[in-house]
Chain A
Amino acid sequence: MKKDLLGIGDLTRDEIYLVLDTAEAMREIGQRTIKKVPTLRGKTVVNLFYEPSTRTRTSFEIAEKRLSADTLNVAVATSSVLKGETLVDTAMNIEAMAPDVIVLRHASSGACHLLSRICRSRVINAGDGMHEHPTQALLDAFTIREHKKRIEGLKVTIVGDLLHSRVLRSNVLLLTELGAEVWVCGPSTLVPPGIERLGVRVSTSVDEAVKDADVIMMLRIQHERMNGAFFPSVREYFNTFGMTPARVAGAKPDVIIMHPGPMNRGVEIASEVADGPYSVILEQVANGVAVRMAVLYLLVGGAED
């Protein structure tokens, strides 16, 4: 593996499978009475989060603690960032205290690449703007593989706000690399131009996109990144693109429904679907810890190039 995990593009196909296989072993640790192994004893991990996050930050922190790393969280709301410090200055100051890993979430695409160039510490991207969220895609792949025993040849349909989604990009890169047939669907105002060049099929009809799907992955409508009117109303969005039991019925009988969270119930997904029998949304959260343990283990001890 490379020094940092900035995006799925950094990983070869074999490395993706190595992360997934290692995560299988890591998951067992979470089922023990003593949920801890000594592997990263004496290593320091800084979780630097410039955007709100519940799942990802908690998940990284639990993963770090289960591997016995010392962890600390820099919550931007209480940090010098509010006094005007730049990302680079903050990073250099944290770097001066010699952490081994920095986990960064930032609203700007490319923030992790910037950090990667100036830091000796290993950098893990926990979501940068509208660019990538690699550990989310890895945990999604892990969850899919667990249910379907494979990824190659599956029809995976991703529905929602394609334009603002880093989860979409990471998932498309990973799933196409592993040979899945990926369909994306959303209102034309939220379909990034040229997305078909990533090797996906594009549709603005949910029913067409969902037909015979093995996996349906919903994306959140990201109100906070929208500075314009992309669709007339939330109600109309739900009527046209919301995932309802009737729409799920068009997919394969054993379809699984995924959502990276946080969910907007009644906007992109109906509660009956989110809480329904096909939903694996909470399994995704559980698997996130194992996948992040695998990434930390493989990066921290791995070769430096």
Chain B
Amino acid sequence: MDADRMSKSLARIAHEILERNAGPTGDALAFVGIRTRGVPIAKRIAAAIRDINGHEIAVGALDITLYRDDLMRHAVAPQPLVRRTEIPFSIDDKRILLVDDVLYTGRTIRAALDALIDFGRPKAIQLIVLVDRGHRELPIKADYVGKNLPTSLSESVQVHLSEIDGKDEVEIRES
């Protein structure tokens, strides 16, 4: 997936979000990106929605490290780096659009759901991923997918974003 395909996918997701959350309910939407690469993706989709209807949707950042299910299981490696969670708005009664780059086992999303619930009681949580590479280990499914990418377990999927990596690209590598 190159830069052009990526921006088209995100624009399509922006339209899908508006379609699905349209209607008289008037519920507020808010993005929460999962660190690291979920955050810039969320910002891009928010910008795409602003271009469509002029509405500004808030974007928060969530670090799920302290909620991981594998944290204390192997005391051999140094602890993963904890980064700051920044959700400067109440998530109560909002429709939260949770954003990550790659959906794989589903464990990151499980952790993110637990973390979000500690912040309040959203009306709904919808999941957006740029790439779904399959191999789920938990019953989790994305609501919006940029691209379904069938992979083997021996491969690794890397999303590069210009904000962080200097280029837009999805790369599959044999690991």
Contact = CB atoms under 8 A, between A and B. Distances in A.
B75 A25 contact: no
Contacts of B172: none
A300 interface: yes
A25 B85 contact: yes
A179 interface: no
Q: Which of A1, A39, A67, A300: most chain B Cβ within 10 A?
A: A39
Interface stretch (B64-72, B100-108, B154-162): B64-72
Contacts of A43: 72
B85 A28 contact: yes
Interface stretch (B3-11, B15-23, B26-34, B114-122): B114-122
Report whether over half of chain B's contact residues are helix, strand or loop; otherwise say mixed: loop
B77 interface: yes
Nearest to A39: B66
B66 A297 contact: yes
Contacts of A297: 66, 79, 82
Q: What size tier do the contact residues of chain B reach?
A: 20 to 34
Contacts of A303: 75-78
B84 A25 contact: yes
Contacts of A40: 72
A246 to B, nearest CB: 40
Report whether over half of chain A's contact residues are helix, strand or loop; otherwise say mixed: loop
B143 interface: no
Given A24-B84, A38-B66, A43-B72, A301 B79 contact: yes
A262 interface: no
B79 A302 contact: yes
Contacts of A25: 63, 82-85
Contact of B67 (A24, A34, A38, A302): A38
A137 to B, nearest CB: 21
A38 B70 CA distance: 12
A42 B167 CA distance: 43
Q: Which of A21, A34, A301, A302: most chain B Cβ within 10 A?
A: A301
B78 A34 contact: no
A148 B120 CA distance: 34
A289 to B, nearest CB: 15
B86 interface: yes
Given A34-B118, A302-B79, 12 more contacts: A18-B81, A33-B120, A34-B119, A38-B67, A38-B114, A297-B79, A298-B78, A301-B72, A302-B78, A303-B78, A304-B75, A304-B76
14 contacts: A1-B78, A21-B81, A29-B66, A32-B119, A34-B118, A38-B67, A39-B66, A43-B72, A297-B82, A298-B78, A298-B79, A301-B75, A302-B75, A304-B76
Interface of B: 63, 66-67, 71-72, 75-79, 81-86, 114-115, 118-120
> Sorted from nearest, which 3 A-B pairs have the closest CB atoms?
A37-B66, A25-B82, A39-B66
